[in-house]
Each structure stands twice: as structure tokens, then as C-alpha cells.
Amino acid sequence: MLRYAAAIAAFLLAGVPPIAAAPYDDAFAAYQKGDYKQALTLMRPLAEKGDTNAQYNLGAMYANSLGVSQDHKEAAKWFGLAAAKGNVFATVDLGVLYQNGQGVQKDYKEAMRLFRIGADKKSSTAEANIATMYERGLGVPQDYKEAAKWYRLAGDHGSAQAQYNIGVMYASGRGLPQDYKQAATWYRKAADAGVDSAQLNLGALYYAGQGVPKDPREAVKYFRLSAQQRNGHAQFNLASIYATGDGVPQDLARALVWFSAASSTLAGNEAKIALENYNEVASKMTQAQKLQAQALARDCRAGNYQKCD
């Protein structure tokens, strides 16, 4: 290894010019840095010359309003060009546009055709989208068993959202036999990947002792992870546990912090209930405790819900 290192050093000392980055690399580097204006400037001529990756990324920029005004019709154009050359990402994203009727006329059959092309290339996103089509009965007869089959394929190929959906199907007994132990297994996969709804539901299983041993502390752990992602139901659950001290030390200040967060995150009657709980907890606190809770709430908001405990 040392001899190779010396040889490389010799070339550098000899003044060999550095290898220039390919034009697409420059464009993609700008894209990754968030310099979408520069990325657009570099990407468009490449896309116009037929570079498949550039065509796909240009479509993504139009679809997601990155450096340009959102224009699904333009996105569909570039996705279509890239898809025609076999770009699987463009194929699947074009299918989504057909599924939603964005930039193209809504066409579930065309969406399914494109998703199946993606699934043949082992795209977990395509597999999950096929599952959704069967689950909702979009362009195909509603079929929960078929949906579960495709969600499992997508989950096995790494789709965290599909893993969460399998958990839901096991928990509800829809398309799969009701099995809370299996639900917990799939929720955990998705929770570990950061899916806030999976963290919420896994916490609920631990709290109820369904499919896993009853463990309020584990419930708090997963509710907290979900609450930190601004999941209002997790925030409410975390506040309720702190308010009652059910399985964990009672902490009215933290209960107040999370009820406050839930009241601003949730909507409608759920927000109203969170606020009512906030007021009920506050009525049981001394002025000093309320001041402590207000300071915690400020730190919580300032830390983007990461510093609330």
C-alpha cells in the first residue's frame, strides 16, 4: 500500500492536472447543495441533449418547485423522455403523475402500467404504489390481500412506508390475519427508519401490551421519537402519560409542555381536547411549576421539539 501511495504522490508532484468533473457531476453537485438556480442552468442543456439523469432531475425540479415554479406538465414531459430510455425513477414518478392527474390526464391504468415496469426492476416505490392502488381500488378491484402482497415486497426491498402499512394491516386484520406480534415487528422496522406513525403505533402497542410485553417506558420512548417529529397524537399521548404518571414518574411540567405542543399541532376537536387537558393540568400546578413549564416549552419550540424532556 505504501508503494502505491508514493507513486500517487509522485504523479501529483509532477504536476499532472486534476481530472475535471463531468458536466452532470457539476450539475448534480449544485443540486445536492441546494443551489437549484445553478443546477437548473447546468442541467437543462444536458437534458436537452438527451442525458437521461439530467432529464429525470429536471423533471423532479419542476415537480417539486426546486429553482423553478412548480409545473407538473413540464415535469411529465421530462419524466417521459427519461422513462422512454429506461430510467426507473422517472418511470415511477411519471406513474405518480398519472395516478394523481398532475400535468397529465388522470389515468389509473397507465399509472399501473408504469408502476409494474418499475416493480419489474425491483423498485420498492413502484411496489408500494401498486399496493396502494389495490388497497384503494384505483383502476383495479379493491383487494387487501393483493395490497398486502405488494406492501410486503416493497417492505422487503427497504420501503419504510410499506413496512408501516404492513404493520397496520396486521394490527387491523385487513388483508392479513390480525396479529399484533407481527404488527409490532413491522412497525419496529419502520420506526427504526424514522416513520413517525410507526413510532406512534409501536408506542401504543407497548402501552397496551399488545404483541409485546406491556412496558410504559418503551411506550414513552417511541411516543417521544414520534412527538419530536411533530406528530400531534404522539405529543398528546406523551403528555397524558406524564400527567397521570402511569408507569413513569409523574411530571406535570412536561405534561404541560406536550399538551401545549399537541394543541398547536392537532386540528379541530382534537386540538380543543389537548387545550382542555393543558388547562386542567395547569390548574393543579403552583405558579413556580407553571413558570418552569413555560421555560421548558420555550426551549422545546426553540429546539424544534428535540429538547422537550
Q: Evaluate whether residue 201 is within a structural domain.
A: no
Q: What's the half-sphere exposure (Cβ side, CA atoms, 13 Å) at 165?
A: 27
Q: Evaluate whether residue 283 is within a structural domain.
A: no
With a pLDDT cut of 90, the percent of the chain lying above it is 77
Read off the pLDDT of residues 121-176 as tens digits, 9 standing for 90 and up: 999 999 999 999 999 999 999 999 999 999 999 999 999 999 999 999 999 999 99
pLDDT at position 133 is 98
pLDDT at position 1 is 36
Read off the pLDDT of residues 4-41 as tens digits, 9 standing for 90 and up: 333 333 333 334 444 434 678 888 888 888 899 999 99
Type of residue at 232: G
pLDDT at position 18 is 43
Read off the pLDDT of residues 204-262 as tens digits, 9 standing for 90 and up: 999 999 999 999 999 999 999 999 999 999 999 999 999 999 878 999 999 999 999 99
Q: 174 with 204: CB under 8 angstroms? A: no
Residue of higher predicted confidence among 286 and 176: 176
What is the Cα–Cα distance from 209 to 169, expressed in whole angstroms? 18
pLDDT at position 169 is 98
What is the Cα–Cα distance from 217 to 183, expressed in whole angstroms? 19
Q: Evaluate whether residue 257 is within a structural domain.
A: no
Q: Evaluate whether residue 169 is within a structural domain.
A: no
Q: Evaluate whether residue 175 is within a structural domain.
A: no
Q: Which domain covers residue 52, as residue numbers?
A: 22-121
pLDDT at position 22 is 61
pLDDT at position 47 is 94
pLDDT at position 232 is 96
pLDDT at position 13 is 34
Tracing cell 379493491 back to the chain, one arrives at 142
Q: Evaluate whether residue 204 is within a structural domain.
A: no
**Domain total in the chain:** 1
CATH assignment at residue 80: 1.25.40.10
Residue 71: band (very low, low, confident or very high) from pLDDT cuts 50, 70, 90: very high
Q: Evaluate whether residue 298 is within a structural domain.
A: no
Q: Evaluate whether residue 177 is within a structural domain.
A: no
